[in-house]
Amino acid sequence: MPRMKLLNGGANGFRDFLALMILAALVPAISIDAFAKKKGPYDLKFGMVALGPNNEAVVFSETRHVEKYTDPSHLHGFTVTRRDGGQFLAYYKVRFPEPLKKISDGMRKFFTITENGRAFQSPEGFHRGRYAEHFRFDESDPVGIYEMEIYIDGELYKKIEYEVISMESEELPF
């Protein structure tokens, strides 16, 4: 009877029993951790952006702290990639820390503006495999906590909070 031997097996039996109990405790934790890290059909990246082929945003440094530079080459944004390359509908909403002081006519035509200029919503678009957006700062853009919601196929996919930090100098540090 293996069970009796394990329980009554002296020092080796106790060590085997202890190892079995530790293993029994770890397996659910490992399984839960693996389940929690299981990814869905999309990959999201948010942070500092460079423009790649076809003028598409490429996130090169993921971050939730964005320095406010008005240099046109200083970009931030996101990419959503569907792993199987399939099609999807998507749009985003941005909520600023306070209403924007300056809203161009182009922005008014492209975005749905709500909350007296505090929130913008992009039009819903059809995407095949990848959705990428990039943003530049205007001098009048506020610093503080921004909220971005990304919607896929009509449902909230991710909510991202990020902080825009004021910089003393408007020159890039390189």
Pair 141, 92 in one domain: yes
Q: What is the mean pLDDT of the chain?
A: 83
Q: For 38-45, what is the mean pLDDT?
A: 83
Task: Identify the CATH number of the domain in which residue 110 sits.
Answer: 2.60.40.1930
Please indicate, yes or no, if residue 174 is contained in any of the structural domains: no
Do 115 and 130 have their domain in common?
A: yes
Asked if residue 96 has pLDDT above 90, the reply is yes
Say if residue 37's pLDDT is above 80. Answer: no
Spatial CB neighbours of 174, under 8 Å, sequence gap ≥ 6: none
Do 64 and 115 lie in one domain? The reply is yes
Is 69 a residue whose pLDDT tops 50?
Answer: yes
Residues 11 and 88 in one domain: no
**Shared-domain flag, residues 108 and 147:** yes
Is residue 137 packed enough to be buried (19+ CB in 10 Å), middle (13-18) or exposed (0-12)? buried
Whether the predicted pLDDT of 162 surpasses 90: yes
Number of domains in the chain: 2
